[in-house]
Structure 1
Amino acid sequence: MDFRKRDNVSVDCVIFGLDSYGLNILLRNRKLNMFNDDFPVIDDWVIAGGPVIISKTLGETADLIFKSITGLNAFNRIQFHTYGNPSRLKSEKDLLWIRSQGLKRQTMTIAYYYTQPKESIVLKNSDFKWFPLKSLPDLGFDHKRIINDAHEDLKQKIMVDPVIFDLMPVKFTLNELQLAFESILEVELDNRNFRKKVLNKAYIVPLNQTKKGSAKKPSKLYVFSRDVYDKVTETDYIINI
């Protein structure tokens, strides 16, 4: 396999993970110390990414990066934006990092995001760590903007596409589904109204199973049926909030 890389085209991967506390982002620790007072010490966080492999497509390169971090072979990927502004890298730390890696300052980045249940990802590299979307650390490059753009695209997608079920466990309760919508959309939903709308969706299928929790009464479990969803009208909202 040809592993030569394009020195001015890269892919960045925003990896979303959802748990009971909300939406999370997987970040990599970026460190560099030149042990010279003339250069700043770099110790911040960035999203996963890297140069495009010449023998691979953009998506294949992104998938290789994702697999190397998670070990997963089945995943959900969405391309959402391209960043090519020649002045997108400005800070002293970013410019130092680029020079230290032998990369070009003007690089075009094609950005993707991955939607997975957080519990399904077992990290293979200790440099990576999950952070709640609401409390991100100091970020390098223009990655704060990329994460914000990914989040905005995800907000739009979950209203008209079944992307939210990629973030959910296969079996879920209605409360878990409501919390997922609330976490991503950053809104508070009326419980009774939400349940009524969900139960009208034929592709959200009840199971003869329950999940035990802190409540006295176990919660009924549901699954998302792709087969049923594919048969409904294209204009049907996932949940018309």
Structure 2
Amino acid sequence: MKNEKILNVSVDCVVFGYDVATKSLNVLVIKRFLESEKEVLVDDYVLTGYHVYQHETLDDTATRVLKELTGLTNQYKKQFKAFGNPDRLTNEKDLIWIKNEEFNTRTFTIAYYFLLKTDDVDLNKNEHQAKWFPVNNLPELGFDHKKIITEAYEDLKTKCLSEPIIFKLLPDKFTINDVQDLYESILGIKIDNRNFRRKLINKKYIIALDEKQVGVSKKPAQLYIFSKDVYDKMFQKNYLINI
């Protein structure tokens, strides 16, 4: 059976990835390029998105989009907003692209964001010319995708203070400094190290391992894991870490 698109409903996905080595929160975007015989018509980046199929739920579409882009499934995802301003697809480059792709200029998009580790995505094999950019240093973006990324980022900042979603961005085994670096990267602030460390290691769902870092030039740090089982058992609607 042929997949039938809903021509004016789409899903756009903001894929956040954290690079532990560079301590950078990044967004995965794809190349948008179109040229005529005489000139380059469109040359920028966009989020990955696609029309919703008639038989799909919105979550199904978002999962499909992520899998096509990264090969990954079962990543943290959140639907955070719908975007439907009449002028969201009407700048000159967008109209050229839309005419070439033959879709509706009055398209409503439901936006999701995903959390994953940059190392989990092999960009060398990516057919979409996908590329990571720091969330605070994005390239020229098409459509209203800068606005979508900005709003996803604001939602992530709020969410990371009330739920332990940041551990989706870290390796399974991490140091306290890794956690602090990630919070600082997301929130754009400096955190008092001693106060943060004391609060974090007192959380029962942050479990110390009988292991330390390997392959580092400085004194190896203690490794920890996040226990979702413990967290779920003691969950209360308060802030994960008061910083």
Aligned match of 1:102: 102
Distance 1:215 1:134 in 2: 30
Aligned match of 2:119: 119
Report the Cα offset of residue 34 of structure 1: 2.3
Aligned match of 1:226: 228
Q: Give TM-score, length-normalised by structure 1.
A: 0.95
> Of residues 134, 137, 151 in structure 1, which corresponds to 2:136?
134
8 Å contact 1:2–1:54 — kept in the other structure?
no
Distance 1:216 1:200 in 2: 25
Paired AA for residue 136 in structure 1? L
Distance 1:122 1:75 in 2: 16
> Of residues 162, 168, 171 in structure 2, which corresponds to 1:169?
171
Deviations 1:186-211 (Å, cap 9, x if unpaired)? 11111111101101111011100111
Cα 1:17–1:159 shift into 2, 3 Å: same
Give the gaps of 5 or more residues in structure 2: none
Report the Cα offset of residue 84 of structure 1: 0.9
Distance 1:34 1:117 in 2: 37
Distance 1:225 1:23 in 2: 23
Report the Cα offset of residue 216 of structure 1: 2.7
Pairing 1:13-32 to 2, within 5 Å after superposition: 13-20=13-20, 21=22, 22-32=24-34
RMSD: 1.4
8 Å contact 1:213–1:219 — kept in the other structure?
no
Distance 1:181 1:93 in 2: 36
Aligned match of 1:63: 63
Distance 2:171 2:156 in 1: 18
What is the SS of the residue equivalent to 1:138?
coil
Question: How many residue pairs were aligned?
Answer: 239
| 1:92 matched to 2:95 | no
Distance 1:105 1:230 in 2: 44
8 Å contact 2:90–2:105 — kept in the other structure?
no
> Of residues 199, 216, 230 in structure 2, which corresponds to 1:197?
199
Distance 2:104 2:182 in 1: 39
Give the gaps of 5 or more residues in structure 1: none
Identity over aligned pairs, percent: 48
Report the Cα offset of residue 99 of structure 1: 1.0
